[in-house]
Amino acid sequence: MPDQKLYKPTLPQIPLATDYSNQPHSLFNFFSPLLLQLQTEVAMAASKPIYTHRKKPYLYSMALITLLCSLSYLLGVWLHGGVSGGGTGGPATANDLLETIRCTHLKNATTHVSASASTVLDFLSHHEAEDPAYTSPAEEGEYYPHCDAKYSEYTPCEDGKRSLRFNRERLMYRERHCPGKGEVMKCRVPAPYGYKSPFRWPASRDWAWYANVPHKELTVEKAAQNWIKFEGDRFRFPGGGTMFPRGADAYIDDIGKLINLRDGSIRTAIDTGCGVASLGAFLLSRNILTVSFAPRDTHEAQVQFALERGVPALIGLLASNRLPYPSRAFDIAHCSRCLIPWGHYDGIYLMEVDRILRPGGYWLLSGPPINWKRHWKGWERTQTDLKAEQSGIETIARSLCWKKLIEKDDIAIWQKPTNHIHCKMNRKVFKKPQFCQAQDPDMAWYTKMETCLTPLPDVSEIKDMAGGQLANWPERLNAVPPRITSGSVEGITAEIFREDTELWKRRLAYYKVVNNQLEQRGRYRNLLDMNSYLGGFAAALVDDPVWVMNAVPTEVKINTLGVIYERGLIGTYQNWCEAMSTYPRTYDLLHADSLFSLYKDRCEMEDILLEMDRILRPEGSIILRDDVDVLVKIKSITDKLKWDSQIVDHEDGPLKREKLLFAVKLYWTSPAPSPNQEGSITAS
């Protein structure tokens, strides 16, 4: 007789910790005796030795276990799913149980099963064609209150009334002046009545809905300059500008005859006083990514129009503070009749342009005073005045060691030197400006401008490029940035950079599994990465028809915004305890990696989320990555913001503490304005 091996099977423990016996459910009363009997029999069978030649008792035991598990599962579904017969409170039936566990399929939505539940989020946009009907809110107490309709274009840090408290010299009152702690509004900014999803790119370059930006002032004020036309229920953007009435495309072609715009050496541009950003809109077809900026002033909503068109733009101006960009960020800076007094204040504004221009970068000026001999009568200025203005600009440019490349017709172009070897020598001739001392050239958040020349990194040879040679686009995107190869960004090596690039490709692929609308070209256009690090998220999206504003929080230990610009991407500095310098409904998608952990104990989580709600379009999407405990707290707030949200596992599996929260901002607008009061209360 063969050796008999003695073993006991490992049986599942079936806790019945919760006492349901007092609950008057007929289904429980039916199952409870049976469950207890089965549990007892299984336990008795498990306590006896089982020999390999006795197979029938073992099969009986396994059958009992299977039946017991199935019954326990059905009981749990019934108890926690709230199933009742036909919704009448009567006894539950087998059909009721089956209906409870049946899967739900929603066309064009993304379903992802997290560790705890299965949730369906609808990432589609549903308000594109017809004027939406106004819908009243659910119980007000469930949500953050909505702001009054008059705040539909509220920009907290560029508020017109608050700005009147500040100095008007050099337009400082139009700079950022954020509300104090007691002034922060704790309400949801409404979209205007009739708001619908913007036209998809590239149609949005030429069209925008009137209901989304209900301002006709520019159609009258700039009618002769071909900026914008009002046609029925929409605006049309012919592409014109003050100095390019034939259109931005033809104007860019004229520039392209003077400097090379197509070899990839020019990738990042800044347009000062941008109007409705037609220059930036048409430079995109040349693979040139432009940051357009203008103040919130009498030219109502010009930046808002730019954003509605799907073009990168921010509210801003040259006044007393540095622009919120690092040194050596842009390949070209542009001003077309931007009304900036370049020759005033000892040339401080040109010195700021010099700080943000790359070595070898270009400054392009069109409009007064260029070609003044032809235009002086139309500009309603004297020849003497215009000649003096141009002479002043020429003198300042020479003092900055810029070389004037060309002046042809209405366009003049200067070039910044590739290094400062000669410039340091000629300080004996130009006593002013002297080189800036001590201050970090990349520091640019409420940092005051100075009348000094920002020094370039040292080089050993006259032919060397200060700061390192950049690759042309598109190779620039994935080439290791010179700031990293030179070791000037502490703690970041070439290997870390390459690993981060690959990591974000993998992460984006996972995002597209969870939110299938990321795969749909045109669903999203304006994206914001709120804590962008090395720009990996934006780099992974480079082949999609989107642009990403990469925000580097001012609180991070390592300033990486210069690296982002050296990749051929764009971005800005931002303190997320304050509002962003942009209009409501700017972005289609917000992304934030570990942002809330960074701001823990710095400011209120709800204030950051309310700002996100302000700058996100109705039916826009959110992707947050953070510690699971942080995301649970966030979800309790987002539910009150009328976001559909869902926490899902990390792309590497459920054992990671870092999780992801996907959300969609639900559609709601102000109510239709009454005939007697246009600024009536908004509703959801």
d(CA 221, CA 301): 13
Closest C-alpha to 62, from 40, 76, 46? 46
Q: What does DSSP say about strands 330-336 and 268-272: parallel, antiparallel, or unpaired?
A: parallel
Structural domain boundaries enclosing 495 = 475-665
Query: b/e per residue, 379-415, with b = 16+ CB within 10 A?
Result: eeeeeeebeebbebbbebbebbbbeeeebeebbbbbb
Q: 3-state class of 379 per DSSP?
A: coil
Report how many domains make up the chain.
Answer: 1
What is the pLDDT, as a whole number, of residue 92? Answer: 42
Dihedral of CA atoms 231, 236, 242, 245 in degrees, nearest 10, equals: -90
Which residues, 6 or more positions from 568, have their beta carbon under 8 angstroms from its beta carbon?
Answer: 267, 268, 289, 473, 474, 476, 477
Helix (H) or strand (E) holding 28, with range, is: helix 26-47
d(CA 408, CA 246): 17
Asked whether the beta carbons of 264 and 473 are under 8 A apart, the reply is: yes
Percent of the chain scored above 90 by pLDDT? 70
Judged on CB neighbours under 10 Å (0-12, 13-18, 19+), 562 is: buried
Convert the pLDDT of each residue in 639-661 to its tens digit: 999 999 999 999 999 999 999 99
Distances (CA, A) of 263 to 269, 471, 479: 15, 11, 17
Long-range contacts for 38-42 (Cβ within 8 Å, ≥24 apart)?
A: 38/64, 38/67, 38/68, 38/71, 39/14, 39/68, 42/11, 42/68
User: How many helices (H) and strands (E) would you count in the chain?
Assistant: 19, 19
614 part of a folded domain: yes
In sequence order, what E strands does 297-352 have? 313-315, 330-336
In the structure encoding, which two tokens stand for residue 466, read together?
A: 């200060």
Residue 294 CB-half CA count within 13 A: 28
629 part of a folded domain: yes
Helix (H) or strand (E) holding 647, with range, is: strand 643-648
d(CA 42, CA 173): 80
496 part of a folded domain: yes
558 part of a folded domain: yes
Asked whether the beta carbons of 504 and 294 are under 8 A apart, the reply is: no
Asked whether the beta carbons of 563 and 481 are under 8 A apart, the reply is: yes
The residues of the chain scoring below 70 in pLDDT are 1-63, 69, 71-120, 125-141, 298, 676-684
The one-letter code for the residue type at 305 is: F
Q: 3-state class of 9 per DSSP?
A: coil
Dihedral of CA atoms 61, 65, 67, 73 in degrees, nearest 10, equals: 170
Closest C-alpha to 683, from 196, 134, 131? 134
d(CA 496, CA 82): 51
d(CA 230, CA 210): 8
Asked whether the beta carbons of 419 and 462 are under 8 A apart, the reply is: yes
What is the pLDDT, as a whole number, of residue 153? Answer: 95
Which residues, 6 or more positions from 468, have their beta carbon under 8 angstroms from its beta carbon?
Answer: 482, 483, 485, 486
Q: What does DSSP say about strands 411-415 and 229-231: parallel, antiparallel, or unpaired?
A: unpaired
DSSP 8-state secondary structure symbol assigned to residue 510: H
536 part of a folded domain: yes
42 part of a folded domain: no
Q: Which residues pair with 650 in a beta bridge?
A: 653
**Helix, strand and coil in the chain, % to nearest 5:** 35, 20, 50
Asked whether the beta carbons of 451 and 430 are under 8 A apart, the reply is: no
Asked whether the beta carbons of 85 and 96 are under 8 A apart, the reply is: yes
574 part of a folded domain: yes
The CATH number of the domain holding residue 536 is 3.40.50.150
Closest C-alpha to 640, from 119, 186, 141? 141
657 part of a folded domain: yes
